[in-house]
Structures are given as C-alpha cells and as structure tokens.
Amino acid sequence: MAEDFQKMDEKDDLYAINRDIVEDVLKAVEADSQSDLLAIFQDLHEADIADILEQITPEDRRRVMRLWGEHVDGEVLTELEEGVRDDIMEDTPDEILAEAVKDLDTDDVVYLVEDLEPPQQEKLLESLDDADRIAVEQSLSHEEDTAGRLMQREMVVAPQHWTVGDAIDYMRSATDLPQDFYDVIVVNPAMHPVGTVPLGKLMGAAREVFLSELMNPDFHAIPVDTPDEDVAYIFNQYHMVSAPVVDHNGRLVGVITIDDAMEILEDEAEEDMKRLAGVGDEELSSSVRETAKLRFPWLAVNLVSSITAAFVISRFSDAINSMVALAVLMPIVASMGGNAGTQTLTVTVRALATRDLTSANALRIIGREMAVGLVNGLAFAVLVGGIGYFWFGNPMLGVVLGLAMIGNMFVAALAGILVPMGLEKLGADPALASGAFVTTMTDIVGFFTFLGLATLILL
Amino acid sequence: MAEDFQKMDEKDDLYAINRDIVEDVLKAVEADSQSDLLAIFQDLHEADIADILEQITPEDRRRVMRLWGEHVDGEVLTELEEGVRDDIMEDTPDEILAEAVKDLDTDDVVYLVEDLEPPQQEKLLESLDDADRIAVEQSLSHEEDTAGRLMQREMVVAPQHWTVGDAIDYMRSATDLPQDFYDVIVVNPAMHPVGTVPLGKLMGAAREVFLSELMNPDFHAIPVDTPDEDVAYIFNQYHMVSAPVVDHNGRLVGVITIDDAMEILEDEAEEDMKRLAGVGDEELSSSVRETAKLRFPWLAVNLVSSITAAFVISRFSDAINSMVALAVLMPIVASMGGNAGTQTLTVTVRALATRDLTSANALRIIGREMAVGLVNGLAFAVLVGGIGYFWFGNPMLGVVLGLAMIGNMFVAALAGILVPMGLEKLGADPALASGAFVTTMTDIVGFFTFLGLATLILL
C-alpha cells in the first residue's frame, strides 16, 4: 500500500513533498551527518522544509532540529503549522532562535513570537537590533488577528513632491529596503498616505514625472485595528498586492503584503469547512490524544441532539408497536431533511464569508431557499410516497411519508439559512455549531411530523 | 427585518455592498438617468459594481445594463460570477462587448470568451487588434483549467546580458507595458526563462549591475499544461506574485499573476466545501429552478443511501416488535457514527487539497484516525451505555448500545479516511460523493451492529 501511495505521488503530485526526500532526511539523521542534511535542505524552499518537518514523527523532528543546530532557518519556522512550531520553538535553545529570527521581516518576527511565553519572548526581542525590536513591540501592542499584527514596518515611503527620479535615487542609496515590496507609498507632510505607486508604473515613467501623477486612484489604506478577515477580503476583492496600514490618526504605520492576505483567506475557508463538519482547531500533526480531545465536544453536542431525537421517538412507542414499518421508514425522513438542511447551510455560510449575501439580497435568498425546499420536498415526497406504498402495500403510509418529507425539507431550508444568518447577526461565527443546530432541528421535526401524522392518520 | 440586516451591514461590513448603494442604482434606473448611474459607478471599484449586478434581480440587471449602454466596463464583466456573466453577455449587443474588452489584458479576454458560442466568440475576437487576437487564440488552444488559459501574454522580458540600466531604459521607452507586473523575466537566446528579477530588487540596484546578479534563485517556470489547482498550490506554497509559463520546449509563452492564483485557491476551497455538503455548481444568483435541479441528484443519492439503511432495519422488524426501545435508540448510534465519519472525512479532504497528506505520512495519519475513532468510540460507549441503562432500566441494553457505538465510530474513522484517499488514488476528486459514501456506511453499520447485537444478546 505504501508503494501505491508513492506511485500516486510521482504521477500527480509533482510539487508535493514525496517519500524519497523524507527518507533522505531521515538517513542523514541516522548517519548523524549535518553536511548531508544541509545539502538536502539547500535545494529546498523553506516551505518544503517546513512540510517535511510537519510530516515526520515528533521524535524524528527533534532529531532533525538537533542535527540542523546553528543553521536553523527562521523562514522555515514561519512556514510551520502552529502545533509543530510551538513544539520546535520550545525545544530549540534561545541563542539558535535569536540567530534564526535576526534577518526576518518584522511581520514574520511578530508571527513567531506572539504566542511565546513572556521570558522566551523577551529574550528573543532583546537579540534584535533596536529599530526592529521597537517595531515588533509596537506590532505586539495591537490586538491579535488585526492589521496591526499582520503589517511589516519595512516599506518604501516617498513625499508627495518627489519625482520618479527622486524615488529611484533614494531606493538605490537605501541599505534597508524590504525583502519584497511592490509599491512606493506616497505620504503628505503629516505622514498620511495619499496614494501608492506600483513599481511597474514607476518603471515605465520618465525620471522627471511626479509620483502624484502615477498614483493608483483606488488605493485602500487599512486602519490598524481592522480584523484580519476584513484585510483578506479587501485584498481579494480589489486584487491588491500590498496596502498601507494607518493608525487612529491616519498616519502611516506599516504595510501588509499579499502573501499574508492569501494565508488568511485560506485559513478562513479551512476554518469554515472544519466548523461546519464539527472539527475544531486540530492540525494534521496533532497527536491521537489532542485530536480525540478536540473532537469530543462536537460529538457531545451531537449526542445531546440525537438523544433529544430519541426522546421524540419514545413518545410514539405505541405507534411503532402497532406498526413496525414506522420504525423502518422514519430515518429516511430525518436523513433527507438533514441533507437538505446541510446544503442550504453550506451555501449560506459560504455566501456570508464571501460577503455575497448582504442586506441587499437577504430577503430574496431566504425566499429562494424556502422555494427550493418546497420544490425538492414535493419531488421527494412523490418518490418516497411511492416507495412507502409499494414496499408496505399501504397507500396511506405513502401519503404520511410524503407529507412528512415536504414538511421536513421546508423546515430544513428555513433552518439552513436562518440559523447562520442569526448567528452572524449576533456577532457569532455563522459556521459555529450551525451544523448541530440544523440537524437537531431536522431530526426532531422529521421524527415528530412522520410519527405524529402516522398516529393521526393511520392508527 | 430588512432594517436589521442593514444595521448589521453598517456595523460589521464596512467593505461589503450595502442596500443604500443598490437602492441608488435602482433609483437611477427608475429615473432612466444614465448620468446618475455613471456617477455612482465612477466611485466604485469594478469588483463592487459586479457585486451589485449579482445581488439585484435578473430583471433589474437587464435594465441596469441597458442604461449603462456603451459605457459598459470590461473589467466588471471579468468580476462577475459565471451565471450572471453568461446572462449579461448573451443580452449585450456585440459592438458594446467588443468595445468593453478591447483594453483588457489577454488573460481576462480569454476568461470572458472561452465559454461563448463560436459565432459570438469570433465576432469579439475580430474586434481585437491583431497581436491581442493571436495571443487570445493561442491561449484558447490550450486545455481548459490549465496554466495556458490562465496566463497573459503581456510581460516584460529581458535578455541575460542586460544590466539594470538597460532594463529601465527599455521599460521607459516601451508603450505596451502590462497593466500590472512585478518581475522582469530574464531569458536566454533560446527564449528559455533563466530567472526573474523582482522590480523591488531592480529598484535597489545600480544601473550597471547585471540582471543575472539580481535573479531570484528559486523561481518556478510553470509548464503550459499544468492544471490550475497545481498553479494555485505553487503560488501559495512559495509565496509568489508572478511566474513565467513555458511551452513543451521550455520556451517562454506567458506569465501568470497572483490575482489569478488567489481566485483559483478560493474556488478550490469553495468547491470542496460544497461537494462535501452535496451542493453542486450553483451560484447565489441561480434561480429556484436551477438550484432545486442542481441539488436534486445529491439528495437522490442520499435517498438511495437512506432506503438501504431502512432495508437493514426492516430485517430486524421482529426485534423491534419485541422491544420498542431499540427503535428509540438506534438513531443515536447511526447519528454519532455519521458525525465522527464526517469529522475524519473533512480533515482528510482538506489535507489532501493542501497536500499535507502525502505518501510520507499517510500510514501514520490512517493509524491516528483509527486510534481517535477507538478512543472517542470508547468514551461515548460509556456515556450512551449509561444512558441506555438508566433510561430503560436494562443493563444489557446499555452494553449493546455501547458496543455498537465503538464498532460504528471505528468504522466511521476508517471510512472517513480511506474513502477520500481511495478516490484520490483513482484520480477522482476526494470530496466528490465522499459524504454520501461515508454516511451510508455509518448508517448501515450503525443500524446493523446495534440491532444485530440486540438480537444476539437481548432476545
């Protein structure tokens, strides 16, 4: 089986880490050969090295880190998933960490140190040069998950009156340009950004042209306390590659680049997907114990929900006793409702996340979902009604099944859209626990309408 | 209620389209005032105008487009979701479309025309100037959803022997620089890309420095037939903002930029999320009819699955007849299994999509999921066993419930990871129909083990 997965890798996953590289790394560790390890890592991108560290066992990971020793690369640390990064940073001597983070951009340093315990955090900050340390400390003074934490201090700023030539001369003489930058930020004397000039525009213009003539007309300055999902939305919506960040007085304090926005966008989509499925903040590297513990609460919610449904069924014990076909057919109604509800729920959660569902179309979309619930409810009512009739030879059983189906699929549609919209309105995450709410609703309504109608009509 | 949603907008969604703007647009249409409409649109980003068009009714949309008339903006068309775009392009006169697409980058033109019927496509292509038309036609000759379709022809290329000064002089004199570009692509005499120079590096270097000294060492040239999800992965993994595309002989044919990669990444995550929930390619603007039709097949699969489960139950009619508590408790086992299976499934599908689950760690992760299934199966076995005992006063009923729970949660874990990995190995989308497979499995196993064990032990 392992060989099969390997073949799969060779064919489809040209760019994913494959077993060969991982085995080479482990061989270098086995041979205790730092030079072999460095030779392998030299050809790999930092993100790929991070992937390798994530995919091996915790024990192997510690051995790799020990062998890597003083050559540990700070960029690799920024690429790691949180759980693995925490483990590694706890185990790595402070001097090695200090060396590794020294040349990172300030946003990366903030990202690495923000979750460290105060003593280790202080030690690392002390090892930075003064300008960097102050920048990192100022970033850390902003709230977590806001633009202030995402931004870097390294940026290229030009006064309004400069020409293209002034800007180029300045950049040529500057010794501390950011690692990656895409715009020159133009500021007024109060340090308020008034526009950005993409480097491509700067390149295409003559030296004597004023920067103010080349500025991007629809640039967005991002307030320092903007939540990071809003930052990601702005970058995605307006196809930006970088944006200036301003403080409460509108003064320029940093810049956010596309790679940070892209990562947040990915994380947000992943979070929604996981929450809809009742999975918490686990990572692929989480241990059995952590994973089981993180999934337990979601399963416990589902247990309460299914016991409630069981209680509803128990109220109809007499009906089931006199007609066992009811016990056979009742899960069909509940299951179809759960499925239809999950469809609506998923579409709604996603549309709220991408901000395609707003006040301008909310009522129309609610109406559409109700109509879809009715239409498909009717269609499946006919189908299951027929099945109930032919299977058990009882036409009224078919009618009861069909009616319960319509009712439950309509409720499913309503719950599927109103629950997440309600959570959003209350300021909660619409994906959070929506799934449990909706399927509890469809289970209870499904069992109740089917068994209740059966009691009224059949018995 | 509509007012409440509006308030929500004002507070939380600073950047989303709000009802006021939409109402202003509709007022302009009502007054038949093109100048009002143009005044509103002038202050909006193309992506926001597209959002407005998506959120109004099809009828209003047609009226807005008619009023917009010859001022229709091609950029707005590229921002629309597919269904709305198709409707609009069908209704808009060819002359207006031709005018609207004339100044777009070639990748945007390709994106707009690739799904058009041949006669309309040809008409639009004819309206382009020759160089653009040939570029678009060459892009269209590549397969859909590959790098060849994503790339634009507009790029900045420099021979290996150039200096920074040569490159800057060339760009100053060029009249057809791309709208946005971030790198100069350095090629050898055979037109093979040998490296890229980020504009930021170019800016920081003296005129006499050779480009070859500034090249990004780990640049990735993307083969023209690379599937677009691989393109998105590469951009995300290596934090790239642009990448050269090469043909089968390694010659440079175009460039892909970050905005395209970001869109694919979003689309892929959304597609996985929807497929896991059994929702097809619907859009928020889809009509009731389309939506109901697109969701029907997924519900039909669920119907087959739940009828199979009902059939399993029907085999145990006698057991239920002699002990109605079985009918009351059986949905708990099925539901908990379904939930645990969905947890594992979602984590697996996501890990396959982000390529964190590879041959290097597959066996370990399968082992982890099995262990988690057992651990949580045991925990909930104790819980539900106790509940079964106290509710119905029958200790052996509790034991049966607990054993069935362990069995079903273990099977759920196995199915949750092996089904998507199997689909991936077969070259299918792991998210596709995984949900239906897994819940069918957990329903059948849940009902069968619980009712079967009950028959063996209790009756």
For the stretch A90-149, pLDDT in tens is: 899 989 999 999 888 888 999 999 988 888 899 889 888 898 899 999 999 999 999 999
DSSP 3-state assignment of B159? strand
Q: Which residue of A has its CA nearest to B381?
A: A303
Question: How confident is residue B179, by pLDDT bands cut at 50, 70 and 90?
Answer: confident
- The answer to whether A230 contacts B199, with C-beta atoms less than 8 Å apart, is no
Identify which has the larger pLDDT, A222 or A177. A222
* C-alpha to C-alpha distance for B127 and A359, rounded to whole angstroms: 40
* C-alpha to C-alpha distance for A417 and B17, rounded to whole angstroms: 20
- The answer to whether B339 contacts A302, with C-beta atoms less than 8 Å apart, is yes
Identify which has the larger pLDDT, A18 or A136. A136
Residue B2 with chain A: CB contacts under 8 Å? 359, 362-363
A46 and A79 Cβ atoms separated by less than 8 Å: yes
- The answer to whether B291 contacts A372, with C-beta atoms less than 8 Å apart, is yes
Residue B22 with chain A: CB contacts under 8 Å? 360
Q: What is the mean pLDDT of residues B157-162?
A: 96
Q: How far is CA A255 from CA A111, A386, B317, in A?
A: 15, 64, 68
A197 - beta bridge partners?
Answer: A184
What is A2-144's CATH number, 1.20.59.10, 3.40.50.300, 1.25.60.10, 3.10.290.10?
Answer: 1.25.60.10
Of B328, B330, B355, B441, which to mutate for an interface test with A (greatest number of A Cβ within 10 Å)?
Answer: B328
Question: How confident is residue B6, by pLDDT bands cut at 50, 70 and 90?
Answer: very low
Reported as a single tens digit per residue, the pLDDT across A346-372 is: 999 999 999 999 888 999 999 999 999
B215 and B195 Cβ atoms separated by less than 8 Å: yes
For tokens 């370990």, name the residue: B364
- The answer to whether B282 contacts A347, with C-beta atoms less than 8 Å apart, is yes
Reported as a single tens digit per residue, the pLDDT across A227-273 is: 999 999 999 999 899 999 999 999 999 999 998 899 999 999 999 99
* C-alpha to C-alpha distance for A245 and A236, rounded to whole angstroms: 16
Other beta carbons within 10 Å of B218: 12
* C-alpha to C-alpha distance for A242 and A258, rounded to whole angstroms: 6
A341 and A439 Cβ atoms separated by less than 8 Å: yes
Of A52, A273, A343, the CB nearest to B350: A273
Q: Give residue A180's pLDDT.
A: 86
* C-alpha to C-alpha distance for A324 and A414, rounded to whole angstroms: 31
Reported as a single tens digit per residue, the pLDDT across A210-231 is: 999 999 867 889 999 999 999 9
Q: What is the mean pLDDT of residues B43-68?
A: 93
Q: Give residue A30's pLDDT.
A: 95
Q: Give residue B17's pLDDT.
A: 66
- The answer to whether A299 contacts B168, with C-beta atoms less than 8 Å apart, is no
- Cα–Cα nearest to B434, from B332, B339, B341, B320: B341
* DSSP string covering B362-428: HHHHHHHHHHHHHHHHHHHHHHHHHHHHHHHS-HHHHHHHHHHHHHHHHHHHHHHHHHHHHHHHTTS
Query: Rounded to 5 degrees, what are φ and ψ at A264?
Result: -65, -40
Other beta carbons within 10 Å of A209: 17
Q: Give residue B333's pLDDT.
A: 96
- The answer to whether A200 contacts B177, with C-beta atoms less than 8 Å apart, is yes
* C-alpha to C-alpha distance for B194 and B211, rounded to whole angstroms: 11
Residue B239 with chain A: CB contacts under 8 Å? 47, 259
CATH H-level superfamily of B2-147:
MgtE N-terminal domain-like (1.25.60.10)
CA distance B118 to chain A (A): 30
Of B19, B20, B284, which to mutate for an interface test with A (greatest number of A Cβ within 10 Å)?
Answer: B284
Residue A152 with chain B: CB contacts under 8 Å? none
Asked if residue B297 has pLDDT above 70, the reply is yes
A441 and A411 Cβ atoms separated by less than 8 Å: yes
Of A52, A348, A361, which to mutate for an interface test with B (greatest number of B Cβ within 10 Å)?
Answer: A361
Tokens at A235, concatenated: 């970058």
Of B4, B320, B355, the CB nearest to A13: B355
Q: Give residue B64's pLDDT.
A: 96
Angle (CA) B365-A296-B408 rounded to 5° is 70
* C-alpha to C-alpha distance for A421 and B76, rounded to whole angstroms: 28
What is the interface size between A and B, counted as CB pairs within 8 Å? 381
Q: What is the mean pLDDT of residues B53-82?
A: 94
Q: Give residue A179's pLDDT.
A: 83
Asked if residue A3 has pLDDT above 60, the reply is no
Q: Is the torsion defined by CA of B161, B162, B163, B164 positive or negative?
A: negative
Of A238, A262, A357, the CB nearest to B236: A262
Tokens at A224, concatenated: 């320092």
Q: Give residue A160's pLDDT.
A: 93
Reported as a single tens digit per residue, the pLDDT across B224-280 is: 999 999 999 999 999 899 999 999 999 999 999 998 899 999 999 999 999 999 898
- The answer to whether B313 contacts A331, with C-beta atoms less than 8 Å apart, is yes
Q: What is the mean pLDDT of residues B20-45?
A: 93
A158 - beta bridge partners?
Answer: A186
Asked if residue B85 has pLDDT above 90, the reply is yes
Q: What is the mean pLDDT of residues B65-87?
A: 93
Q: What are the residue ranges spanned by the domains of chain A?
A: 2-144, 157-258, 288-457
Helix%, strand%, coil% for chain B, nearest 5: 65, 5, 25
Highest mean pLDDT among A32-36, B20-24, B89-93, B105-109: A32-36
Q: Give residue B396's pLDDT.
A: 95
Reported as a single tens digit per residue, the pLDDT across A316-347 is: 999 999 999 999 999 999 999 999 999 999 99
Tokens at A81, concatenated: 């998933």
Q: Give residue B289's pLDDT.
A: 95
Of B287, B371, B376, the CB nearest to A295: B376
* C-alpha to C-alpha distance for B182 and B189, rounded to whole angstroms: 22
Asked if residue A298 has pLDDT above 50, the reply is yes
Q: What is the mean pLDDT of residues B19-25?
A: 89
Amino acid at A239: H
DSSP B221: P
Asked if residue A448 has pLDDT above 60, the reply is yes
- Averaged pLDDT of chain A: 91
Question: How confident is residue B9, by pLDDT bands cut at 50, 70 and 90?
Answer: very low
- Cα–Cα nearest to B350, from A275, A5, A348, A244: A275
What is B288-457's CATH number, 1.20.58.190, 3.40.50.620, 2.60.40.3500, 1.10.357.20?
Answer: 1.10.357.20
A216 and A198 Cβ atoms separated by less than 8 Å: yes
CATH H-level superfamily of A157-258:
CBS-domain (3.10.580.10)
B145 and B230 Cβ atoms separated by less than 8 Å: no
Sheet of A252-257, strands arranged across: A222-223, A242-246, A252-257
Amino acid at B82: E
Tokens at B149, concatenated: 């379709």
Of B239, B276, B290, B376, which to mutate for an interface test with A (greatest number of A Cβ within 10 Å)?
Answer: B239
What is B157-256's CATH number, 2.60.40.420, 3.40.640.10, 3.10.580.10, 3.90.700.10?
Answer: 3.10.580.10
Q: Which residue of B has its CA nearest to A308?
A: B332
Question: How confident is residue B30, by pLDDT bands cut at 50, 70 and 90?
Answer: very high
Identify which has the larger pLDDT, B318 or B17. B318
Of B233, B258, B307, the CB nearest to A241: B258
- The answer to whether B202 contacts A203, with C-beta atoms less than 8 Å apart, is yes
Tokens at B176, concatenated: 């057809």
- The answer to whether A329 contacts B346, with C-beta atoms less than 8 Å apart, is no
Reported as a single tens digit per residue, the pLDDT across A49-58 is: 999 999 999 9
Of A239, A270, A286, A366, which to mutate for an interface test with B (greatest number of B Cβ within 10 Å)?
Answer: A239
ipTM > 0.85? yes
Q: Residue ranges of the alpha helices (H) in A315-361? A: 317-322, 325-353
**What's this model's pTM, rounded to 2 decimal places?**
0.89
Q: Give residue A227's pLDDT.
A: 94
Asked if residue B10 has pLDDT above 50, the reply is no
For tokens 């005499």, name the residue: B189
Q: Give residue B423's pLDDT.
A: 92
